[in-house]
């Protein structure tokens, strides 16, 4: 390879390496960039589906196959986590919305909350878990199982709680989800075969950097109108943002408590996954035909999703360090 071409290729690789080294700080900055530059959202909005696809490709490409097989041999935890995120969460969210009278007082907000509950976990959840040093493979396995089930569970809960507010086609949504999963798994498998697992591990930081850029595409597409909404009605926008944070951390805390018996680090990883709902797929399923309040809530949920990994990384590191210390403690050998 000529030296000039090698130098040209090295520049973007160095940039991605630097960006990947910023970790959760860069993820947190994404939310503010997406709001501060509205034209970016207009430009990137047509590429939401591609961004979701690439995020899942990266997740599949980086999966630890040994750990994956270990989880599949012990399916009880994956089954419990899948049942909680696909059945428990939407049921509790819908019941809470009706108990507070939200469908009557604010139908758009009620619709947003119930769609959030029905959604599968975000496809970026394994990558964010990896950035925080958590068990990304457990998150990925549960992500796949819950995503495979969500066409059926979402249609069930939509029929029970949404009435005429929303029309969801389980068959169409299911085919789209299965297509995305199958295609991304195929692409990831080809990449692993061509480059090898060792090369992927060696290039961890550039891959992290690429993942952050793709997250920016998705966040910008969803959050492009937040600034104008804030100017138009600041009190309501701030109230909706506070609700988005409250729901995020309530799901995280409740899930961690429910699964604490499997170990705090694993429970925390499951909680992180459950709190990050894939609203992008719900937007795709409804073709974006949603009330303005629903759109606003969806956009503001990106703040806790992108800020929480940065805020919670110290906790995650303490949990993983505690697990490592326990594993090597002299008393643990006996």
Q: What would the pLDDT profile of 126-178 be if each residue is shown by its tens digit?
A: 777 877 778 778 888 888 788 888 888 888 888 788 876 765 655 665 677 67
180 vs 186, more confident: 186
Q: Token pair for residue 281?
A: 């797929």
Asked if residue 88 has pLDDT above 80, the reply is: yes
Q: What is the mean pLDDT of the chain?
A: 81
Asked if residue 334 has pLDDT above 50, the reply is: no
Q: What is the structure's pLDDT at 329?
A: 35
> Considering the chain, what percentage of its residues have pLDDT values greater than 90?
21
Ramachandran angles phi, psi of 121, nearest 5°: -60, 155
**What number is the average pLDDT over the span 59-81?**
78
Instruction: List, in order of start, the domains of the chain with CATH numbers.
Output: 35-319 (1.20.1530.20)
Asked if residue 211 has pLDDT above 50, the reply is: yes
Ramachandran angles phi, psi of 122, nearest 5°: -60, 145
How many helices (DSSP H) and strands (DSSP E) are in the chain?
20, 0
Three-state SS for 14-31 is HHHHHHHHHCHHHHHHHH
Q: How many CB atoms lie within 10 A of CB 151?
A: 23
For helices 302-328 and 204-223, give the axis angle rounded to 10 degrees: 150
Q: What is the structure's pLDDT at 258?
A: 94
Contact 86, 157 (CB under 8 A): no
């Amino acid at each position: 390879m000529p030296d000039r071409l090698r130098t040209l290729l090295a520049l973007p690789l160095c940039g991605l390496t630097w960006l990947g080294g910023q970790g959760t700080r860069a993820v947190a900055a994404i939310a503010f960039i997406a709001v501060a530059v509205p034209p970016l959202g207009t430009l990137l909005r047509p590429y939401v589906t591609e961004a979701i696809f690439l995020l899942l490709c990266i997740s599949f490409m980086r999966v630890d196959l040994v750990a994956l097989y270990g989880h599949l041999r012990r399916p009880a935890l994956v089954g419990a986590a899948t049942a909680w995120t696909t059945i428990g969460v939407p049921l509790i969210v819908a019941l809470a919305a009706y108990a507070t009278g939200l469908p009557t007082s604010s139908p758009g907000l009620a619709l947003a909350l119930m769609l959030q509950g029905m959604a599968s976990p975000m496809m970026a959840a394994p990558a964010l878990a990896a950035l925080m040093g958590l068990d990304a493979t457990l998150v990925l396995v549960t992500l796949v199982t819950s995503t495979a089930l969500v066409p059926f569970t979402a249609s069930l809960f939509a029929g029970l709680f949404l009435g005429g507010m929303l029309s969801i086609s389980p068959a169409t949504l299911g085919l789209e989800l299965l297509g995305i999963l199958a295609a991304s798994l195929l692409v990831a498998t080809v990449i692993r075969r061509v480059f090898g697992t060792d090369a992927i591990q060696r290039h961890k930081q550039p891959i992290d950097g690429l993942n952050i850029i793709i997250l920016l595409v998705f966040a910008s597409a969803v959050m492009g109108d937040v600034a104008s909404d804030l100017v138009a009605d600041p009190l309501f926008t701030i109230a909706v943002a506070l609700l988005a944070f409250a729901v995020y951390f309530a799901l995280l805390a409740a899930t961690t408590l429910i699964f604490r018996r499997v170990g705090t680090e694993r429970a925390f990883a499951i909680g992180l996954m459950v709190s990050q709902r894939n609203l992008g797929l719900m937007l795709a399923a409804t073709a974006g035909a949603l009330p303005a309040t629903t759109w606003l809530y969806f956009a503001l949920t990106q703040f806790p999703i992108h800020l929480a990994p940065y805020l919670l990384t110290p906790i995650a590191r303490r949990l993983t360090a505690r697990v490592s210390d326990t594993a090597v403690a002299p008393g643990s050998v006996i």
